[in-house]
Chain A
Amino acid sequence: MEKVDKRNLIARRIAGEFKENDVVNLGIGLPTLVANYIEEGKNIILHSENGFTGVGMPPASGEEDPDITNAGGQPVTIVPGGACFDSAMSFAIIRGGHVDATVLGALEVDAEGNLANWMIPGKLVPGMGGAMDLVSGAKKVIIATDHCTKAGAPKILKRCQLPLTAAKEVDLIVTELAVMKVTEDGLVLQEIAEDTTVEEVQAKTDAELIIPHEIGVLK
Chain B
Amino acid sequence: MGKTVDAREAAGMVKDGMTVMMGGFLGVGSPEKVIDALLETSVKELTVIVNDTAFPEKGVGRLVVADKLARVLTSHIGTNKYSREKMNSGELKVELIPQGTLAEQIRAGGAGLGGVLTPTGIGTVAQEGKKIIKVDGKDYILALPLTADVALLKAHKGDELGNLVYRRSARNFNPIMAMAAKTVIAEVEELVGVGEIDPDQVITPGIFVDYLVNGKEG
Contacts and interface: CB of A to CB of B under 8 A. Distances in A.
A201 interface: no
Given A84-B168, A128-B96, A73 B28 contact: yes
Contacts of A87: 25, 51, 99-100, 103, 172-173, 176
Contacts of B75: 127-130
Interface residues of B, number: 46
B118 interface: yes
Contact of B168 (A49, A78, A126, A166): A78
B41 interface: no
Interface stretch (A16-24, A132-140, A145-153): A132-140
Q: Which of A50, A67, A71, A130 counts the most B-chain CB atoms under 10 A from its CB?
A: A50
Nearest to B100: A91
Contacts of B118: 95
Contact of A128 (B27, B98, B172): B98
Interface string B51-76: 11000000000000000000000111
Contacts of B104: 88, 91
Contacts of B100: 87, 90-91, 94-95, 130, 132-133, 137
Interface in B103-147: 103-104, 106-107, 118-126
A86 B78 CA distance: 22
A163 interface: yes
Max chain B CB contacts within 10 Å: which of A73, A88, A168? A88
Q: Chain A contact residues: over half helix, strand or loop, or mixed?
A: loop
B93 interface: no
Contact of A86 (B101, B123, B156, B171): B171
Interface in B1-47: 25-29
A91 B52 CA distance: 16
B192 interface: no
Interface string B175-218: 11000000000000000000000000001000000000000000
A167 B124 contact: yes
Interface string A78-93: 1000001111101100
Given A88-B104, A91-B104, A132 B168 contact: no
Contact of B176 (A88, A131, A133): A88
Contacts of A68: 168-169
Given A52-B168, A87-B173, A128-B99, A95 B119 contact: yes
A67 B28 contact: yes
B163 interface: no
A150 to B, nearest CB: 19
Contact of A136 (B103, B120, B172): B120
Contacts of B26: 50, 69, 72-73
B96 A67 contact: no
B91 to A, nearest CB: 15
Nearest to A68: B168
A145 to B, nearest CB: 19
Contact of A126 (B78, B121, B125, B167): B78
A166 B139 CA distance: 13
Interface string B141-176: 000000000000000100000000011111111111
A86 B173 contact: yes
B76 A127 contact: yes
Given A84-B169, A126-B76, A166-B124, A50 B28 contact: yes
Q: 3 closest pairs, A vs B, by CB?
A: A126-B78, A167-B123, A91-B100
Given A67-B156, A87-B103, A132-B98, 6 more contacts: A49-B99, A86-B171, A88-B104, A127-B77, A131-B98, A137-B120
Interface of B: 25-29, 51-52, 74-79, 84, 87, 96, 98-101, 103-104, 106-107, 118-126, 156, 166-176, 203
Interface of A: 48-52, 65-69, 71-73, 78, 84-88, 90-91, 94-95, 114, 125-133, 136-137, 163-168
